[in-house]
């Protein structure tokens, strides 16, 4: 007999008179992996928050483990075994890895006393279950973003979870880590844990999910077992229109390189890095996490000072020892951790868009009229199709729109070199393809584009050359048209 | 071969411990206190007398006790400006009430009445902060003013002279243990140990840090926000009240105009002790050391002929250096992880 862990019937939810969920019916079976797919703003986050007790629903019935909940609080939801891994991980930066993983257990068991030993034990066990070793005593604020995600996963599985909801869990993970995540998910399924997997990456969905539930404008548009689901239809269901990406082909490659680097090195992180980007090209650098690709990106923007090597821009040697120097030399940078480094969450979209060019638009003695900001802000809002009020704060935007703001603020400064560190992480399908189109436009406009990515599909479709980094060195370099998914994937995961 | 790697291992381990110890705020405070003591002690060797040490500890008591409450609120993410108004309100009212209903009751009664009043005022703080979501700094600024006004208008505005003070309070002020250590030092140590225990070994204590570090996450993993906040402010109110009662007992005088206005001194000691103004970080031992260091600077530099203005200058200098060092260490650890 198949039983349902979660049953939603006719769930409706409105915010301020706007209906964001309309008559949602959804069943989650024991041990099933369900994918919820939808664009940003489609209502999928609201749906998750209703299940996790963060929001109350207006109408309908919600049953968990056979019990009906007219209202459900977050702690009730947790004690019913529902765990959410949020995109922002919901960790405590000021606590250690062990405390982060173990604290929830103490609350779940309604313990009064806190035991550090218990935390360590639980943390060790659940990390072992995922097959990761980590320094348990480090503060979470000191660990890289991928490890934060692992801590969040470890925290969710350590509690006696019946349902684990993962909100785009692979965004900060490398292919190897994603594969490990698949293994974990399969193991969890076997042990009777149900998974709700929020994603719009096709490969992922088909690798782990049993069923796909697609939501658009608050309504169910598709609900099929994976084997009956047409691969090509997903983006159609999500957007209501067909999205197809032509592989990138440079229109015309210039003779002289715009941007050239020679034997760059930074401490132990990378060395002997040389490459050149010619006009019209999109060069991609990839590699596993820890391969040095992130550090290289940061060095090119002056965040980490290069210890060796030369950088040449349009034939002139330049120094990039600091971020202001990089900006002065017209280098732009899209960081991988958008929320922490890319966008001013509390500041308005307008202020975000003009943040890089403040000096250029201010008067000679440094005054800046509010009105002066409108021009460039509106210009980039239109060019990038950011659908929002310019006065709204950055945090009110969806992932895709936030990334557009990040791109826009740099484009306003007319860069010569654009270093993009995983620019489509946590961005919906439609925005992703729009960002890709934008990247291609940049390349055709005499801007050297350096794309750092670990999304193999993205690399193959959006660059003409790829460099694979391994253990701080360039291990492989090729034209993307000669590569396919599997051969590139093999080069990336290759152990030297 | 084996021994070489082993010794190398211990050496790096030792180095690691050393650097992590140096990065710790407590270590810097201990070093500052030791340096300060040596400087004062070599010029005036009276400083190393047991009496001076006992006196210094006694002078630390109020900052140490009230500092526990202030630290708790600060770890939770805000600055409590109502600490001294609550301390004075509780202590003055408790003295009046005790004189009125049971003037000969033992000192514990005075403490208990004060603690009940302190808890009540803490509850009012929590109400405004937790239910009406007023920022802590603003809420406690406004409420502190109200507490003072209410006390002066409704409880009284005339100080209670030593002759009128309850006998048990006078006895308390003359109670010494271990050949001259004032009993209130033990109360301070007790309060610090209790706070240490709560913060370190209880789930609600970890919640204080969790709430200070990431409020939304704390709610998501199942903390009851209101219960947590009420616990924090009520506990802080009780700490302030204990501090107030110790203060009026020790000075054998309950002056409603006293104490209020010294909020920033205790806040400075807490920050000096390494509690982050951003919330989420801090330890009770740091607070004790911070309080101790402020007292040594402010009270004992006079022993070597430094005027109080210069003592304040030195305090300000050490304060700003300490904060700069904390900020530098945070920035450095961030860079290392990048």
What integer pLDDT is reported at residue A242 of this predicted model? Answer: 59
Supply the pLDDT for residue B307: 86
Q: How far is CA A59 from CA A7, A53, A64, A69, in A?
A: 14, 15, 16, 12
Q: Which residue intervals of A55-201 are DSSP H helices?
A: 74-79, 97-108, 116-130, 145-158, 175-190
Res B40 pLDDT > 70: yes
What average pLDDT does this structure show over A96-118? 89
pLDDT value at A1 more than 60 = no
Please tell me if residue B215 touches chain A, with a CB cutoff of 8 Å.
no
pLDDT exceeds 90 at position A284: yes
Note the CATH number of domain A257-493.
3.40.50.300
Task: Spell out which residues of chain B touch residue A74, defining contact as CB-CB under 8 Å.
Answer: 219-220, 222
Tell me if B209 and A94 make a contact (CB, 8 A cut-off): yes
Instruction: With beta carbons less than 8 A apart as the criterion, state whether A107 and A77 touch.
Output: no
DSSP state of A45: H
> How many other C-beta atoms lie within 10 A of the C-beta of residue A84?
27
Chain A CB contacts of B279 below 8 Å: 94
CB-based contact, B222 to chain A, within 8 Å: yes
Q: The complex's ipTM?
A: 0.81
Q: Does B13 touch chain A (CB under 8 A)?
A: no
Q: How far apart are CA B207 and CA B213, in angstroms?
A: 9
* Close Cβ partners of B69 (under 8 Å, ≥ 6 residues apart): B80, B83, B235, B236, B237, B238, B239, B240, B243
Higher pLDDT, A16 or B317: B317
What is the pLDDT confidence band of residue B146, given thresholds at 50, 70 and 90? very high
pLDDT at residue B6 in the model: 44
Taking Cα atoms as reference points, which of B45, B31, B25, B33 lies closest to residue B272? Answer: B25
A346-361 pLDDT, tens digit per residue, is 889 889 988 888 888 8
pLDDT of the residue at A89: 82
Residue A467: name the closest of A293, A266, A303 by CA: A293
| Residue contact B222–A304, C-beta within 8 A | no
Q: Where are the domains of chain A?
A: 4-239, 257-493
Q: Say whether residue B120 is in contact with chain A using an 8 A CB cutoff.
A: no
Q: Do B212 and A114 touch (CB under 8 A)?
A: no
**Residues A193-236: pLDDT tens digits?**
899 988 877 778 888 899 999 988 888 888 989 888 887 777 77
DSSP per-residue letters across A115-128: -HHHHHHHHHHHHH
Helices B107-126 and B225-251: angle between axes, nearest 10 degrees: 140
Helical axes B50-75 vs B284-295, angle rounded to 10°: 130
Q: For chain B, state the CA radius of gyration.
A: 21
Give the pLDDT confidence score for residue B5 in this predicted structure.
43
Mean pLDDT of A135-164: 84
For chain A, percent of residues with pLDDT exceeding 70? 95
Q: Is A298 in contact with B338 (Cβ distance < 8 A)?
A: yes
The class that CATH gives domain A4-239 is alpha beta
Q: Which helix (H) or strand (E) holds A277?
A: strand A270-278
Residue B290 has pLDDT above 60, yes or no: yes
Please answer yes or no on whether B280 and A92 come within 8 Å at the CB atom: yes
Q: Each residue of A3-44: pLDDT tens digit?
A: 888 999 999 988 777 778 889 999 999 889 999 988 766 788
- How far is B91 from B224, CA to CA, in rounded Å? 31
- A257-493 matches A4-239 in CATH topology: yes
Pairwise CA distance, residues A329 & A448, whole Å: 13
Quick check: A279 pLDDT over 90?
no
Q: Which residue has the higher pLDDT, B14 or A249?
A: A249
Radius of gyration of chain A (CA): 23
Please provide the distance, in angstroms rounded to a whole number, between the alpha carbons at the two ends of chain A.
50
Report chain B's mean pLDDT, rounded to a whole number.
Answer: 88
Residue B242 has pLDDT above 90, yes or no: yes
Closest to A161 measured CA to CA, from A202, A198, A193, A201 = A193
Quote the mean pLDDT of chain A: 85
Contact between chains at B338 and A107 (C-beta distance less than 8 A): no
What share of chain B has pLDDT > 70, as a percent?
Answer: 91
| B79 close to B72: Cβ distance less than 8 angstroms | no
Higher-confidence residue: A75 or B141?
A: B141
Chain B CA closest to residue A142:
B337
pLDDT, residue B138, reads 93
Give the number of other Cβ atoms within 10 Å of residue A305's Cβ.
13
User: Is the CA virtual torsion A325, A327, A328, A329 positive or negative?
Assistant: positive
Name which of A484-488, B204-208, B279-283 the model is least confident about: A484-488
pLDDT attached to residue A205: 84
Q: By mean pLDDT, which of A181-190, A414-423, A425-434, B44-53 is the weakest? A: A425-434
C-alpha distances in Å from residue A266, one per residue of A260, A292, B249: 17, 9, 63
How many residue pairs bridge chain A and chain B with CB atoms within 8 Å of each other?
A: 80
Q: What is the mean pLDDT of residues B124-142?
A: 92
Per-residue pLDDT band for B235 (boundaries 50, 70, 90) equals: very high
Distance from CA of A326 to the nearest CA of B (A): 18
Residues of A in Cβ contact (< 8 Å) with B205: 114
Contacts of residue A275, defined as CB under 8 A and 6 or more positions apart, other chains included, come to A260, A261, A283, A467, A474, A477
């Amino acid at each position: 007999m198949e039983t349902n862990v979660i049953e939603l019937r006719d769930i409706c939810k409105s915010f301020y008179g706007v209906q964001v969920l309309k008559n949602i019916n959804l069943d989650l079976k024991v041990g099933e992996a369900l994918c919820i797919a939808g664009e940003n703003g489609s209502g999928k986050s609201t749906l998750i928050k209703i299940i996790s007790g963060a929001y109350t629903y207006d109408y309908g019935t919600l049953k968990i483990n056979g019990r009906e909940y007219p209202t459900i609080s977050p702690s009730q939801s947790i004690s019913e075994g529902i765990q959410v891994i949020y995109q922002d991980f919901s960790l405590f930066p000021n606590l250690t890895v062990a405390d982060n993983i173990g604290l929830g257990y103490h609350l779940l068991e309604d313990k009064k006393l806190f035991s550090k030993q218990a935390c360590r034990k639980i943390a060790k066990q659940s990390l072992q279950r995922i097959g990761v070793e980590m320094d348990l005593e480090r503060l979470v604020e000191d660990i890289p973003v991928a490890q934060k995600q692992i801590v969040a996963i470890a925290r969710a599985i350590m509690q006696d979870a019946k349902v684990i909801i993962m909100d785009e869990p692979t965004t900060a993970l490398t292919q190897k880590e994603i594969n490990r995540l698949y293994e974990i998910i399969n193991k969890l399924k076997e042990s009777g844990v149900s998974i709700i997997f929020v994603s719009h990456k096709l490969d992922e969905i088909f690798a782990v999910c049993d069923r796909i539930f697609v939501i658009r404008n608050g309504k169910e548009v598709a609900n099929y077992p994976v084997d009956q689901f047409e691969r090509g239809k997903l983006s159609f269901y999500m957007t209501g229109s067909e999205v197809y990406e032509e592989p990138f082909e440079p229109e015309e490659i210039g003779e002289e390189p715009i941007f050239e680097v020679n034997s760059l090195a930074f401490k132990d992180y990378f060395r002997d890095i040389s490459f050149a980007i010619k006009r019209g090209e999109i060069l991609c650098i990839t590699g596993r996490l820890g391969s040095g690709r992130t550090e290289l990106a940061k060095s090119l923007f002056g965040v980490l000072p290069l210890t060796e090597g030369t950088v040449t821009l349009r034939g002139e040697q330049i120094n990039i020892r600091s971020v202001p120097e990089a900006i002065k030399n017209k280098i732009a940078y899209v960081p991988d951790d958008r929320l922490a480094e890319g966008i001013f969450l509390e500041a308005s979209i307008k202020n975000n868009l003009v943040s890089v060019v403040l000096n250029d638009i201010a008067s000679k003695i440094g005054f800046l009229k509010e009105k002066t900001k409108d021009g460039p802000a509106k210009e980039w809002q239109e060019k990038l199709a950011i659908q929002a009020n310019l006065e709204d704060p950055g945090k009110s935007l969806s992932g895709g729109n936030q990334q557009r703001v990040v791109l826009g603020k740099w484009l306003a400064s007319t860069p010569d070199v654009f270093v993009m560190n995983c620019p489509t992480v946590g961005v919906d399908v439609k925005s992703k393809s729009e960002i890709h189109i934008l990247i291609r436009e940049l390349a055709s406009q005499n801007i050297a584009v350096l794309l750092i990515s670990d999304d193999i599909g993205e690399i193959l479709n959006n660059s003409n050359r790829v460099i694979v980094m391994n253990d701080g060195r360039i291990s492989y370099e090729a034209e993307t048209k000669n590569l396919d998914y599997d051969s590139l994937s093999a080069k990336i995961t290759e152990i030297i | 071969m084996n021994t070489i790697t082993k010794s190398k291992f211990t050496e790096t381990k030792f180095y690691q411990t050393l650097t992590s110890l140096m990065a710790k705020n407590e270590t810097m405070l201990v070093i500052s206190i030791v340096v300060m003591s040596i400087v004062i002690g070599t010029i005036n060797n009276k400083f190393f007398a047991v009496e001076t040490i006992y006196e210094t500890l006694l002078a630390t008591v109020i900052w140490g006790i009230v500092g526990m409450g202030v630290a708790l609120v600060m770890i939770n993410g805000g600055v409590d400006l109502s600490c001294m108004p609550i301390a004075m309100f509780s202590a003055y009212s408790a003295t009046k009430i005790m004189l009125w209903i049971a003037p000969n009751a033992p000192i514990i009664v005075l403490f208990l009445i004060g603690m009940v009043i302190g808890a009540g005022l803490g509850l009012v703080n929590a109400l405004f902060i937790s239910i009406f979501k007023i920022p802590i700094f603003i809420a406690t600024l406004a409420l502190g003013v109200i507490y003072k006004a209410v006390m002066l208008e409704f409880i009284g505005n005339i100080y209670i002279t030593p002759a009128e003070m309850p006998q048990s309070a006078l006895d308390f002020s003359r109670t010494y243990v271990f050949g001259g250590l004032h009993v209130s030092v033990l109360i301070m140590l007790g309060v610090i140990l209790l706070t240490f225990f709560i913060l370190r070994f209880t789930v609600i204590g970890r919640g204080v840090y969790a709430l200070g570090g990431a409020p939304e996450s704390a709610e998501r993993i199942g903390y009851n926000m209101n219960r947590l906040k009420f616990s924090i402010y009520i506990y802080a109110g009780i700490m302030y009240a204990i501090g107030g009662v110790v203060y009026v007992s020790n000075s054998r005088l309950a002056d409603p105009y006293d104490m209020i206005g010294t909020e920033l001194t205790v806040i400075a000691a807490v920050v000096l002790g390494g509690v982050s103004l951003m919330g989420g970080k801090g330890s009770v031992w740091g607070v004790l050391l911070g309080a101790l260091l402020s007292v040594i600077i402010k009270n004992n530099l006079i022993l070597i002929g430094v005027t109080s203005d210069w003592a304040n200058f030195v305090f300000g200098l050490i304060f700003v250096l300490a904060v700069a060092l904390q900020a530098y260490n945070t920035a450095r650890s961030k860079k290392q992880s990048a």
